[in-house]
Copies of this chain bind each other. A is one copy, B any other.
């Protein structure tokens, strides 16, 4: 990135603003980067979750705390919040009520723009330019922005019915396969062994684990599916099914393959070998992550 990327006069011409802050906030943590007005990275830090669904006040506290830590790590005297312009990609920002309340509780940042973490992932992946992404982690979402800045998204409907190809989606299906192994509907397998070991060995412990498991717990099992895939055909087929779900998302976002595509997120990257060939070939590594996208959100006027 270079200075020419900055086209937001509110920030360029406001001499009281010294720092730009990019925030990626989700249900498992917050990541922050700090740059100067030329977008030179000065500091970064990670902190507590700031998904809006967990509470607006909690989100702001996590963000302000993590930002203070970033300045501390970067050996920069902590400035006044009014010297900072902040862009945020937050899980839950598609809920207008939460987003408005978040704006209203701004603790003093001079400029602030909030959008979904899906959109900042998209901005980061293609450097703010038109393109599409499919982001796969605990949940999944696909998003496209064309050259008219028009957006569309797919998936992201949540657990347990949606978020195809996500960690929770894979974990739910890994449990179903394991249950079938235990009660004799399926042969013993590497995946079932691994799931049982993780969830407590005895079927009764597994049953108890299942009774208490939510989206995050199921997502914890996703790595076991990848590890078992070489030895377990059902696990392998599950990953190829996830790959097809990702392809369907990508095709819906950009039916004529006109824009660059990035499959993002730790699980998205792990699933690349399981994508149908045409989609695998179209995939381009993301230029930057969601914190970079959040920075572009505030640095570029859009």
Interface residues of A (CB under 8 A from B): 152-155, 157-158, 160-162, 164, 172-173, 175-176, 179-180, 183-185, 207, 210-211, 213, 218, 248-249, 252
* Known contacts A161-B179, A179-B157, A210-B158; A185 and B252 CB within 8 A of each other: yes
Q: Which residue of B lies closest to A162 (CB)?
A: B179
Partner of A161, one of B157, B176, B185: B176
A185 & B218 in contact (Cβ 8 Å cutoff) = no
The answer for the CA separation of A155 and B249 in the assembled complex, in Å, is 32
In the complex, chain B residues whose CB is within 8 Å of the CB of A213: 161
Q: List 17 A-B contacts (CB under 8 A).
A: A152-B184, A154-B183, A154-B184, A154-B185, A155-B179, A155-B183, A155-B185, A158-B211, A160-B160, A160-B172, A161-B173, A161-B175, A161-B176, A161-B218, A183-B252, A184-B252, A185-B248
A133 to chain B, nearest CB (A): 15
Q: How many copies does the complex hold?
A: 2
Most chain B beta carbons < 10 A, residue from A155, A162, A210: A162
The answer for the CA separation of A199 and B220 in the assembled complex, in Å, is 30
Q: Which residue of B lies closest to A174 (CB)?
A: B161
Q: Which residue of B lies closest to A96 (CB)?
A: B204
In the complex, chain B residues whose CB is within 8 Å of the CB of A161: 172-173, 175-176, 179, 210, 213, 218
Q: Which residue of B lies closest to A157 (CB)?
A: B179
The answer for the CA separation of A179 and B180 in the assembled complex, in Å, is 28
